[in-house]
């Protein structure tokens, strides 16, 4: 028998930096992404889109398009009407036009689709469709949406004063959502000797995964079955939606998410293109492929953020926060297609009291319609958590500055202390665990914080210095792993997740999951959980997800759900198998279960170390000679309903140097400490953190989807929309602490989104800090050289 230490290494279970199983296919060009799928008889679909942001459609002339060689069909809303598919429900309780029904509500909205033999003729067909529009006044500014004379966007909702989330106050109003205790917060502000307030605009950005969205819909008219390959982060939910919309029984609808080239929230929703491709396939009886191009992706599929926030803090003279008040105007675009648990129209924004012990808090969010694309998704974050963290982290900096207290010190004074967990926030969230002060202390020590501040002071004292130095700090908590089915559902389906494990007679295993990887390495990490729980080497554990006809129902991967919910389901399913295995082992060893102890991959008889049965022996016995009264086989399924969210946290520090003459911001140093509880695969965690930090850098330093007054989207190509290259991207330093979640079976909390959520305010904190000695409290994102240079000019630092 090998020593336990060798056997543990052979298992490659939890905690091991195991290399990724999925890489072999990807490095050889053998991934299978949706555009790689080619079915016999397949045709291609392309979309006619509106050049205008708000207009009536007077006429659509298909004739020239139908005459284009290769074009098979052109569909408009009129063609979808008889099927009642010209509108579709959104995940947020609104409806969205599949193809524009009489009017367009945003530039690049879907107006018609062309189906043709190949993608080139489909594109020719799109050019040839003639649409006549009559322009309407355009609403771009969300802050003007509720003005009495604002143009009314959603005529289809005329007279509807109740929406999915209560009363609508104006034809352009979607919902009001409130959290916390307004009276208590107001009282705290009345009594407070110190108050600060800041208006913060979180610009509209786009997740922009490297692969755009697309699908291949294949209806089999003989069997009456629909198979759709789709870039979906939530294939099971999509199947339910497709079944509801099409009237096909759910058992005859199969959604397959193949390899996905990044999602970051962009691939959660159901887009008009998917619906049209499915309809076209049903009508034509041929497989239909639709792949959007990058411009379409940036202009029409789900954006993120677009939050106009006003925040206030009340505090004591020594910087203890006593109250928080927030009001947000949320620009949801033309249709409310935000993807979020349905009871939370502002997601989990109420984590905006952050890592701080704030006794009284109140937040109100008003969602409004504008002539822009729908969305409001969680771009590499849990629902609206990025906005919440940005708000509180910027506000606490502003307060520190007003009181002339160091940023690190003011945080230390306000942290929820370790012994306060589980901690109920003023907004009613129950934080599971944390040690915020220890995390911050570790970071400050690592970077030698006092030395940095001394260097900055010297620089500030020297007016001849060509550059400014800024130090940014964030100490944040996330709220992820949606979520408990008592409060979280999507279209009524509770937000559990699932795992089904089958151990084969020879001792290898397959785990099928309700989640779906878009690069997170699920095939590797879930196998590691099985390895540790069941003593089967992770190399011998196959992980499958994404095919609704084989995988158990799950809500998918977004909002850092996979480890908190899916990973827990793996552990729980494995434990069911473990329990049965123990019975079999007791039978084989002719002892009682109480006499057995588990060691890595085997049950041993207590006090008789020579007698043991490995999981491999047990697996064989499960099929070969199951104990009397016990079902043969060795498999289990578990639907995990999390008792609570998990709260990963971190402390980040950033040092920037800003060239006064040009406004260029150089990130000199970025130190990120994350605590995601139990760490399943440190290599993958580090990779996720690098990626999240880089996406955070992109948002803070350059990403913004801008519009002109006519609602023209400015910059919807990669020429304009900022995706950093290896040259701009800073070097990342990472660190960690481990505070397990007390309610998660493995103690894990989820990680991939913290770095995005935590880094963005850190960059803003650093940039504002560079100008703090000149009275600047806050500068709006993105911190492009041009905008920073403008600040330098205003402050007479640059010519």
Partner 1 sequence: MAKQLIRVKVNGRDIERAVEPRLLLVHFLREELDLTGTHIGCETSHCGACTVDLDGRSVKSCTVLAVQCDGAEVATVEGLAQGGVLHAVQEGFYQEHGLQCGFCTPGMLMRAYRLLQENPDPTEEEVRAGMSGNLCRCTGYQNIVKAVLYAAAKLREAHKAEEKIAA
For residue 293, the minimal CB distance to partner 1 (Å) is 6
Of 96, 107, 109, 233, catalytic: 233
> Site mask, partner 1, residues 717-746, x = CB under 8 A?
xxx---x-xxx-x-xx--------------
The distance of closest approach from Cβ of residue 691 to ligand FES in the complex, given in angstroms and rounded to an integer, is 8
Q: Which is nearer to ligand FES, 262 or 376 (CB)?
A: 262
Residue 431 binding result from ligand FES, partner 1, none, given CB thresholds of 5 to 8 Å by partner type: none
- Angle between helices 385-403 and 407-414 in degrees, nearest 10: 110
Q: Which of 276, 381, 676, 762 is catalytic?
A: 381
User: CA 428 to CA 571: how far, in whole Å?
Assistant: 29
Is 639 among the residues that bind partner 1 (CB under 8 A)? no
CB of 562 to ligand FES, least distance (A): 16
41 near partner 1, judged by CB under 8 A: no
132 is annotated as an active-site residue: no
Q: Which partner, partner 1, ligand FES, none, binds residue 747 by CB below 5 to 8 Å per kind? A: none
For position 120 contacting partner 1 by CB under 8 A, the verdict is yes
Q: Does 15 contact partner 1 by CB under 8 A?
A: no
Q: Does 210 bind ligand FES (CB under 6 A)?
A: yes
Residue 613 structure tokens? 């049965």
CB nearer to partner 1: give 374 or 692: 692
Residue 423 interacts with partner 1 (CB under 8 A): yes or no: no
Q: Which class for 728: exposed (0-12), middle (13-18), buried (19 or more C-beta within 10 A)?
A: middle
Q: Which of 119, 154, 286, 380 is catalytic?
A: 380
Residue 110 to residue 300: CA distance in whole angstroms: 8
| Minimum CB distance to ligand FES smaller for 13 or for 262 | 262
Cβ-based neighbour number of residue 394 at 10 Å? 24
Q: Is 753 a catalytic residue?
A: yes
**Least distance (Å) between residue 158 CB and ligand FES:** 43
CA 259 remoteness from chain centre = 18
Considering only residues 58 through 97, tell me which ones interact with partner 1, judged by CB under 8 A: none
Q: Residue 208 CB, nearest distance to ligand FES (Å)?
A: 10
Of 353, 346, 452, the C-alpha closest to 396 is 353
**Which 91-110 positions form the footprint of ligand FES (CB under 6 A)?**
none
Q: Using the minimum distance from each CB to ligand FES, give the nearer residue, 643 or 724.
A: 724
Q: Per rule CB under 6 A, is residue 262 in the interface with ligand FES?
A: yes
CA dist 106 and 91 (Å) reads 19
Which 519-538 residues touch ligand FES, going by CB under 6 A? Answer: 519
Q: Which of 104, 145, 676, 684 binds partner 1 (CB under 8 A)?
A: 684
**Please, what is the Cα angle at 98 between 96 and 100, to 5 degrees?**
90
d(CA 797, CA 663): 10
Q: Are strands 253-256 and 225-230 parallel, antiparallel or unpaired?
A: parallel
Collapse the DSSP code of 145 into the 3-class scheme (helix H, G, I; strand E, B; otherwise coil) and give the result: coil
Q: Quick one: what does residue 3 bind among partner 1, ligand FES, none, with the CB cut-off 5 to 8 Å set by partner type? A: none
Minimum Å gap between C-beta 796 and partner 1 is: 35
Q: Answer yes or no whether residue 623 interacts with partner 1 by CB under 8 A.
A: no
Sheet with 497-503: list strands edge to edge: 541-545, 509-513, 497-503, 635-640
Tell me the C-alpha distance between 26 and 548, whole Å. 23
Query: Is 290 one of the binding residues for partner 1 (CB under 8 A)?
Result: no
- Choose which of 311, 319, 519, 761 interacts with partner 1 (CB under 8 A): 519
Instruction: Verify whether residue 381 is a known catalytic residue.
Output: yes
Nearest-10 crossing angle of helices 235-246, 272-284: 50
Annotated catalytic, 56? no
Scanning the structure block, which residue is given the tokens 């990130």?
667
The DSSP-derived string for 688-751 is HHHHHHHHHHHHHHT---EE-TT--EE--STTTS----TTTSPP-EEEE-----TTSTT-B---
Q: Mask of contacts with ligand FES, 629-648, x by CB under 6 A?
A: --------------------
Which residues, including other chains, have CB under 8 Å from residue 525's CB and lie 6 or more apart?
563, 567, 680, 681, 684
Cα–Cα dist 114/277, whole Å:
10
Burial of 89 (0-12, 13-18, 19+ CB in 10 A): middle
Q: Please, what is the minimum distance in Å from the beta carbon of residue 142 to ligand FES?
A: 31
The least CB distance from residue 698 to ligand FES, in Å, is 13
Of the candidates 39, 732, 783, 710, the one whose C-alpha atom is nearest the C-alpha of residue 470 is: 783
Of 322 and 562, CB closest to partner 1: 562
Q: Does 564 bind ligand FES (CB under 6 A)?
A: no
Which chain residues interact with ligand FES by CB under 6 A? 210, 262, 519
Which residues does the annotation mark as catalytic?
233, 380-381, 753
Which chain residues interact with partner 1 by CB under 8 A? 19-20, 22-31, 33, 35-36, 38, 119-120, 208-212, 259-262, 264, 293-294, 518-521, 683-684, 686-688, 690-695, 717-719, 723, 725-727, 729, 731-732
């Amino acid at each position: 028998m090998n020593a336990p230490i060798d056997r543990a290494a052979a298992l490659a279970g939890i905690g091991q930096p195991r290399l990724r199983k999925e890489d072999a296919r990807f490095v050889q060009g053998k991934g299978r992404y949706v555009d790689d799928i080619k079915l016999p008889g397949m045709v291609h679909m392309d979309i006619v889109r509106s050049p205008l942001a708000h207009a009536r459609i007077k006429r659509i002339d298909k004739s020239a398009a139908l005459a284009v060689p290769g074009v098979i069909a052109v569909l408009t809303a009129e063609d979808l009407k008889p099927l009642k598919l010209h509108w579709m429900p959104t995940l947020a309780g609104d409806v969205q036009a599949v193809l524009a029904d009489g009017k367009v509500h945003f530039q690049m909205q879907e107006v018609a689709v062309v189906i043709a033999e190949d993608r080139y003729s489909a594109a020719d067909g799109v050019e040839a469709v003639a649409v006549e529009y009559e322009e309407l006044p355009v609403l771009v500014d969300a802050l003007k949406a509720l003005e009495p004379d604002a143009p009314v966007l959603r005529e289809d909702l005329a007279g509807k004063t109740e929406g999915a989330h209560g009363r609508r106050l104006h034809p352009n109003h979607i919902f009001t959502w409130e959290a916390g205790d307004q009276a208590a917060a107001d009282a705290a502000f009345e009594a407070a000797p110190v108050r600060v307030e800041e208006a913060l605009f979180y610009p509209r950005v786009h997740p922009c995964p490297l692969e755009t969205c697309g699908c291949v819909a294949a209806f089999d008219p003989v069997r009456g079955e629909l198979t759709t390959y789709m870039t979906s982060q939530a294939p099971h939910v999509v199947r339910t939606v497709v079944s509801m919309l099409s009237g096909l029984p759910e058992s005859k609808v199969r959604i397959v998410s193949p390899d996905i080239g990044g999602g970051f929230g962009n691939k959660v929703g159901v887009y008009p293109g998917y619906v049209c491709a499915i309809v076209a396939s049903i009508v034509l009886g041929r497989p239909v492929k639709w792949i959007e191009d990058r411009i379409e992706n940036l202009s029409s599929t789900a954006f993120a953020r677009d939050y106009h926030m006003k925040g206030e803090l009340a505090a004591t003279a020594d910087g203890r926060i006593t109250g928080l008040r927030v009001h947000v105007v949320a620009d949801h675009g033309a249709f409310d297609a935000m993807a979020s648990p349905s009871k939370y129209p502002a997601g989990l924004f109420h984590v905006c009291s952050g890592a701080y012990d704030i006794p009284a808090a109140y937040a109100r969010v008003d969602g409004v319609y504008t002539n822009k694309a729908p969305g409001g998704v969680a771009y590499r974050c849990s629902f609206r958590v990025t906005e919440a963290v940005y708000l509180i982290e910027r506000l606490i900096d502003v307060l520190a500055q007003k009181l002339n207290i160091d940023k690190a010190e003011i945080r230390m004074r306000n942290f929820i202390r370790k012994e306060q967990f589980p901690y109920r926030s003023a907004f009613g969230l129950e934080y599971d665990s944390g040690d915020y002060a220890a995390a911050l202390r570790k970071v400050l020590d690592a970077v030698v914080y006092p030395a940095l501040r001394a260097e900055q002071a010297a620089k500030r004292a020297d007016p001849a210095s060509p550059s400014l130095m800024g130090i940014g700090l964030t100490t944040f908590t996330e709220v992820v792993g949606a979520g408990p089915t008592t409060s979280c559902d999507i279209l009524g389906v509770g937000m559990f997740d699932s795992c089904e494990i089958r151990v084969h007679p020879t001792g290898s295993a397959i785990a099928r999951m309700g989640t779906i990887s878009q690069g997170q390495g699920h095939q590797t990490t879930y196998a590691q959980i099985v390895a540790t729980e069941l003593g089967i080497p992770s190399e011998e554990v196959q992980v499958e997800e994404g095919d609704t006809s084989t995988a158990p129902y799950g809500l998918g991967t977004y909002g850092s759900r996979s480890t908190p919910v899916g990973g827990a389901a793996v552990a729980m399913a494995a434990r069911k198998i473990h329990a049965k295995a123990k019975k079999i082992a007791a039978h084989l060893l002719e002892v009682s279960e109480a006499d057995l102890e588990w060691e890595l991959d085997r049950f041993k008889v207590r006090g008789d170390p020579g007698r043991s049965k490995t999981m491999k022996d047990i697996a064989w016995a499960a099929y070969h000679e199951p104990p009397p009264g016990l079902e043969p086989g060795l498999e289990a399924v578990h639907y995990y309903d999390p008792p609570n969210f998990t709260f990963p946290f971190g402390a980040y520090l950033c040092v920037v140097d800003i060239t006064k003459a040009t406004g260029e911001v150089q990130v000199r140093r970025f130190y990120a400490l994350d605590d995601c509880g139990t760490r399943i695969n440190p290599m993958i965690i580090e990779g996720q953190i690098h990626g999240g930090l880089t996406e955070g850098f992109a948002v803070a330093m350059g990403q913004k989807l801008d519009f002109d007054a006519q609602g023209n989207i400015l910059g919807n190509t990669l020429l304009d929309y900022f995706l950093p290259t290896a040259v701009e991207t800073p070097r990342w330093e990472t660190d960690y602490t481990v505070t397990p979640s007390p309610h998660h079976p493995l103690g894990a909390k989820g990680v991939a989104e913290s770095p995005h959520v935590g880094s963005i305010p850190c960059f803003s904190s650093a940039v504002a800090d560079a100008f703090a000695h000149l009275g600047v409290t806050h500068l709006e994102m993105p911190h492009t050289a041009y905008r920073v240079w403008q600040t330098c000019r205003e402050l007479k630092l640059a010519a």
